[in-house]
Structure 1
Amino acid sequence: MISTKKHIQQLAQLLLSKGIDDIIISPGSRNGPLTHTFAGCGLFNCRNIVDERSAAYFAMGLAQAKQKPVAIVCSSGTAPLNYTPGVAEAFYMNVPLIVLTADRPEYWIDQAESQCIRQKNIYQNFTKKEISLPLGESDKELWFAARQINECLNVAASGAPAPVHINIPLEEPLHDLLDAELPVVKTIEMATSESKLSDAENEKLAAIFSDSKKVLILAGQHIPNPGLENQLSGLASESGAVVLKEHLANLDDPIFCSSIDAVMASILEDKPEDFQPDLLISFGGQFVSKSLKQFLRKNKPANHWHLSLSDEHFDTYQSLTKVIKVDASDFFEKLLDVADSKENSYHKLWKNKESQVNLLRDRFLDKADFCDLIVFDELRKAIPENSVVHLGNSSPVRYALICDPVKNAHYFGNRGTSGIDGPLSTAVGFASESEKLNTIILGDLSFFYDSNSLWNNYIGGNLRVIVINNRGGNIFSMIKGPTDSPAFREHFFTENKFKAEGIAKTFELDYFKAESLDELQVSLKEFYSPEQQKAALLEIFTDAEANTQQFRELFKYVKQ
């Protein structure tokens, strides 16, 4: 049984024609025609998430896992507004969400009608396209709506993928059904095309690359791509170029350089000009490291090329000289073909510095008291290989990047807007489709903020939630400024006296806890035991003051 609303029938058919069959539904009455049709026709994979804010993040995680668009459906009123954080994150992470919001007819807007707000263009800063379907169902209105829907769905996944919004005003009756198949609707396809550089441009870039003695390649956040990794490995080996990466770049070859914040701290005490690149090449998403940005802004390269299929002019380091509209894998493949073998002193300089700081880091950790640094070092040793690791924002992602990555693991994190409000929901959405073990590591405030992410029926036995409970927002103890304010403890640190155990029991997750190194090591063995077949939560209690002291001492030690 499907809705009698013809616009909804058309929409459902066009979604299927584009291969979009995953629907996340948040319950409501105004979106009843959408719910009836998606669930009733039997052709969609429908999931129900009550909390719209969590639903948008869940859908983003699902879209990342499946590498295809996912649609989210909600009622009218404030429900669409609750999607906004997840839509914004998806926009900056280039994830194609199809946002479908039910609405009251326009004649009821601002007329004291319940659940009725101005919904047109509410995501205008965070979508590639927004449309509002007509209310009437004449042949011309149906043709117009179908044309707009086609265009909207086409642009969602083209170029740089991003969310699109389809607002759907609906009149009562909302729940009239009929026993019929979806109608035949004309599909407008978008021809695929590739962005390629001319031979002349390739030769020009290759000449600059060859003439640059110090080449630094910044691999930003990126989905796993073995082909890209092989090309970068070959280029670094052949040309002596330095590839800097964080865990979220999903590059594992030891020829690359990581431990960036520690390396930067040491470089600033050395000779920064020795590490200054002649040519900087960047691709992918954002870097977490603030010190890297500061270093490159002070030590600018003569040339900075940014690779972007959507022509993004990311001048993060205030030295951008060329935007190159090609796929990163294709670009480095071409460069590898023409790269000359040359002396690699620049590469040795970076790798030697990385080895030095990693040795100092490990010496420091051997003597450090129990704190977040010790916790993250233990976690990276305990998390099984070939699993998926999701990093929460604020201090967890920074601690994780100080330590070595888990071997052969894929890393994900909400680094588009870098908020603490949705990492758990995103991880839950990803894990619901993943066949691998999925671990999400996040702080206590982020966990409590996003605990509704566990309020659904899609929590599988492959989910492991690790909550670092340092009883507040420990990131504000680590950065300069907030600790000197009288408002620090109440309004920055936001002291937290709660525990996650009750929430774990509410949502039927097995609960583990640790308050010392010995307890942590014992808990981790059981937490990741093959016998643990149920979703589980491990809460690790640390002291905020000890965390801050050890964090600062580590960087002092590295500098010396």
Structure 2
Amino acid sequence: MSVAVFNRRWATLILESLTRHQVKHVCIAPGSRSTALTLAAAAHPHLICHTHFDERGLGHLALGLAKASGTPVAVIVTSGTAVANLYPALIEASLTGEKLVLLTADRPPELIDCGANQAIRQPGMFASYPVQALDLPRPTPEISARWLVSAIDNAMAQQTHGAVHINCPFAEPLYGEDTGEYTEWLEQLGDWWQGHQPWLSFAPVQNSPAQPDWLSWRQKRGVIIAGRICAHESELLVQWADKLGWPLISDVQAATGNPLPYADLWLASPQAKSVLERAQLVVQFGGGLTGKRLLQWQAACQPEEYWLIDALPGRLDPAQHRGRRIQTPVPAFLLQHPAQHQPDWAPELDECAARAGHAIELHLASTFGEAAAAWQLPSLLPEHGQLFLGNSLIVRLADAFAQLPAGYPIFANRGASGIDGLLSTAAGVQRATCKPTLVLLGDISALYDLNALALMRQCSAPTVIIVVNNNGGQIFSLLPTPEAERQQFYCMPQNVDFQHAAAMFGLDYASPTSMTELHDAVTQCWQHGGVKLVELKVNETDGAECLRSLVSEASQS
């Protein structure tokens, strides 16, 4: 019984230590070996606990919470394959920077590799993806509380981005009444318990200095690319670019308002390519670009220098340009490198964007489908809300056709760009902000994370989930996949009806057959509240064909 009590003391100190590093949310899956951690989290007055029965979805729920809150989020799971199910969310966080703290309960060492139930080799199982891994010993009062709290502080101090993995073995017994033993072990920390600071604090790394030759570079012809940056950063960047007179090309993840919209179309234009060849400097803010034509131009451009600004580490430039990789937050860079008023040196790009917009309107004004829904996406958004975009074809259609409003929060999982856990991540984003939320994703993505609809039942503000059902992975219709094998091995049509999924989880449901009906279904949810699953049953290949046709038309202009 005393083992169970000390396990609880050990876990209590772990959770208290994490609160000193801004952890407010804890996502918990059911399990026995993790009992000490679960009970400690549940008893903590300053922690908000979230639960889910699926560890893969739980990891993505934490990812969404961290994405929208900007603070570290803890995850508690039991031992065995429960831990392995956190891998996809961990990988995504390592690429996009959200801070996760994975508390994985484990069997003690004597139960590993001997046939014990639910026992696998957990230390190091995530390879190099965590920014820091801490393999704790089995809890024992012979190890001081000071060691444990400083070990947690040291691990968390390394978390500039991504995940920290803390593996926590616990010996049995796991259950028992709290007899009051071992309180003196916690009291070793003295008045630390009455404060809010870590036991061991580390000085932060200073931001990158200003580029000494910026005054010269800002006189030249520059092009700005906005990649994966947040809404506040996007607004600051628009002002900076406008003052410089430099064209700003925006990814769908950047809330710039797209001063040059529909770039995925007009970048195919020979006129646009000719104008952009005159650029002397390209400055990219944030990685993870989406549009194919933007990626192609980014890879082919040859300015005098290419600068990439992002607070995350790493090169983040698959084209390996010659230039500068500046690791600093976007606002800090803009403050250090003030703009100077200059005339717009590439007004022809406005003409290219206007032609693309006119072509889109001619193609889509009287149609219903996923391309039309992407084009009219701005009119579907809730006021003072947020947007979560899925992956594959739908994010590319939104990138090509939608001119989203400036400063409007946009979330996506565009690190590894997987379709797993998208609904779970969106649920985490909604819980972190409590804002009205529009989720837009494809049918295969929804099927992949279908049990996350259980998380959606607990949304605190009106939420609409639009599932574009084009019967399969139609992103492969854009790729030169072998036609004979395309349906069976790539698109994999499932012939499903999401009305049954909505009913199973108690969600409202609509299946509009026109853009008017779609607007009505979405507007009703914004006005009356609740959670609604809206299924768009569309022709299988129309969306991909529309994008291909418009790109071809733009390439002739």
TM-score (norm 2): 0.91
The answer on whether the counterparts of 1:293 and 1:317 sit within 8 Å (CA) in structure 2 is no
Give yes or no for the alignment of 1:540 onto 2:533: no
Is 1:378 aligned to 2:376, yes or no? yes
Contact residue 470 and residue 541 of structure 1 kept, 8 A = yes
> Do residues 238 (structure 1) and 238 (structure 2) align?
no
Deviation at 1:292, TM superposition (A): 1.5
User: Partner amino acid for 1:394?
Assistant: S
Query: CA offset at residue 354 of structure 1?
Result: 1.4
Identify if the C-alpha distance between structure 1 residues 504 and 207 changes in structure 2 by more than 3 Å, giving closer, same or farther: same
Select 2:554's aligned residue among 545, 554, 558.
558
Q: Is the Cα–Cα contact under 8 Å of residues 28 and 50 in structure 2 kept in the other structure?
A: yes
Partner residue of 1:29 out of 20, 32, 48:
32
Counterpart-to-counterpart distance in 1, 2:308 and 2:547: 33
Instruction: State the match for 1:387 in structure 2.
Output: 385
Task: Give, in angstroms, the shift of residue 291 of structure 1.
Answer: 1.7
CA offset digits 1:272-291 (Å, max 9, x no partner): 24212211111223110122
Unaligned runs of 5+ in 2: 193-198
In structure 2, how many angstroms separate the alpha carbons of the residues matched to 1:437 and 1:4?
43
Return closer, same or farther for 1:239/1:406 CA change in 2, 3 Å cut-off.
closer
Amino acid at match of 1:450: D
Q: What is the match of residue 409 of structure 1? A: 408
1:192 aligns with 2:198: no
CA distance in 2 between counterparts of 1:249 and 1:546 reads 27
List aligned pairs for 1:84-163, cutoff 5 A. Answer: 84-140=87-143, 142-156=145-159, 158=160, 161-163=161-163
Give deviations 1:2-28, integer Å, cap 9, x for gaps.
953142122122112223231111000
Query: Which position in structure 2 is the counterpart of 1:168?
Result: 168
Shift of residue 120 of structure 1?
A: 0.5
Residue 440 of structure 1 corresponds to: 439
Q: Is the Cα contact below 8 Å between 1:428 and 1:463 reproduced in 2?
A: no
Task: Report what 1:333 is aligned to.
Answer: 335
Q: Which residue of 1 aligns with 2:503?
A: 505
Moved more, 121-130 or 548-557: 548-557
Segment drifting more, 319-328 vs 534-543: 319-328
Cα shift readout 1:216-248 (whole Å, capped 9, x = no counterpart): 11111112216x623x33432332112211231
Residue 524 of structure 2 corresponds to residue 526 of structure 1:
yes
The reply to whether residue 293 of structure 1 matches residue 291 of structure 2 is no
Relative to structure 1, is the Cα distance of residues 503 and 124 closer, same or farther in structure 2, using a 3 angstrom cutoff? same
Which stretch of the first structure deviates more once superposed, 20-29 or 35-44?
A: 35-44
By how many angstroms is 1:510 displaced? 0.5
Q: What percent of counterpart residues are identical? A: 25
Task: Tell me which residue corresponds to 2:253.
Answer: 248
| SS in structure 2 of the partner of residue 244 of structure 1 | strand
Helix, strand or coil for the counterpart of 2:241? helix
Q: 1:229 aligns with which of 206, 230, 235?
A: 235
Q: 1:488–1:536: structure 2 CA closer, same or farther, 3 Å change rule?
A: same
Q: Could you list the runs of 5+ residues in structure 1 that have no partner in the other structure?
A: none
Deviations, residues 531-555 of structure 1 (Å, cap 9, x unaligned): 2x21111001001133333232222
Deviation at 1:419, TM superposition (A): 0.6
1:435 deviates by 3.0
- Using the alignment, how far apart are the partners of 2:442 and 2:29 within structure 1? 27
Change (3 A) 1:259 1:527: same
Distance 1:279 1:177 in 2: 67
The match for 1:458 is: 458
Q: Partner letter of residue 275 of structure 2?
A: D
Once the two structures are superposed, what CA deviation does each residue of 1:405-432 show, in whole Å capped at 9, x if it has no partner? 4435311100011011111111111112
Measured in 1, the distance between the counterparts of 2:239 and 2:28 equals 46
Deviates more, 1:536-545 or 1:308-317: 308-317
**TM-aligned CA deviation for residue 461 of structure 1:** 4.2
The amino acid across from 2:327 in the alignment is: K
Secondary structure in structure 1 of the residue aligned to 2:261: coil
**Against the structure 1 CA distance between its residues 274 and 42, is the aligned structure 2 distance closer, same or farther, given a 3 Å change threshold?**
closer
Q: How does 1:25-64 map to 2 (within 5 A)?
A: 25-64=28-67
Distance 1:309 1:434, change over 3 A: closer
Q: How does 1:343-362 map to 2 (within 5 A)?
A: 343-346=343-346, 348-362=347-361
Aligned residue in 2 for 1:206: 215
Q: Which moved more, 1:111-120 or 1:546-555?
A: 546-555
Paired residue for 2:196?
none
CA contact (8 A) 1:384 1:406 kept: no
Q: Is 1:386–1:410's contact at 8 Å kept on the other side of the alignment?
A: no
Match of residue 549 from structure 1: 545
Give 1:494's aligned residue: 492
Amino acid at match of 1:427: A
Amino acid at match of 2:202: M
Q: Give the partner amino acid of 1:166.
A: I
Q: Give the ranges of 4+ consecutive aligned residues of structure 1 lying more than 4 Å apart after TM superposition.
A: 179-182
Q: CA, structure 1 residues 179+437, in 2 after alignment: closer, same or farther (shift >3 Å)?
A: farther
Amino acid in structure 1 at the alignment position of 2:276: F
Deviations 1:28-64, CA, capped at 9 Å, x for gaps: 0010111121113444211211100000100111112
Residue 299 to residue 40, structure 1, CA distance change in 2 (3 Å): closer
1:215 paired with 2:222, answer yes
CA shift digits 1:434-458 (9 cap, x unpaired): 2321011010110011011122463
What is the aligned partner in structure 1 of residue 419 from structure 2?
A: 420
1:185-243: per-residue Cα shift (whole Å, max 9, x none)?
46111223531416xxx332322332x2x2011111112216x623x334323321122
TM-aligned CA distance change 1:384 to 1:331, over 3 Å: same
SS of the residue corresponding to residue 544 of structure 1 reads coil
Q: For 1:539, what is the secondary structure of its paired residue?
A: strand
- Contact kept, 8 Å, 2:218 with 2:244, in 1: the verdict is no
SS at match of 1:130: strand
State the distance in 2 between where 1:520 and 1:189 align: 53
Q: Distance in 1 between matches of 2:95 and 2:478?
A: 26
Give the residue type in structure 1 aligned to 2:222: V
Aligned to 1:15: 18
Report Cα offsets for 1:87-145 as digits up to 9, x if no partner: 11111110000000000111221111110111011122221001110115144464433
Q: Distance in 2 between matches of 1:265 and 1:190?
A: 49
The aligned amino acid for 1:307 is I
Whole-angstrom CA distance in 1 between matches of 2:20 and 2:212: 42
Letter in 2 for 1:207: S
Check the 8 A contact 2:230/2:255 in 1, yes or no.
yes
Shift, 1:402, TM fit? 2.0
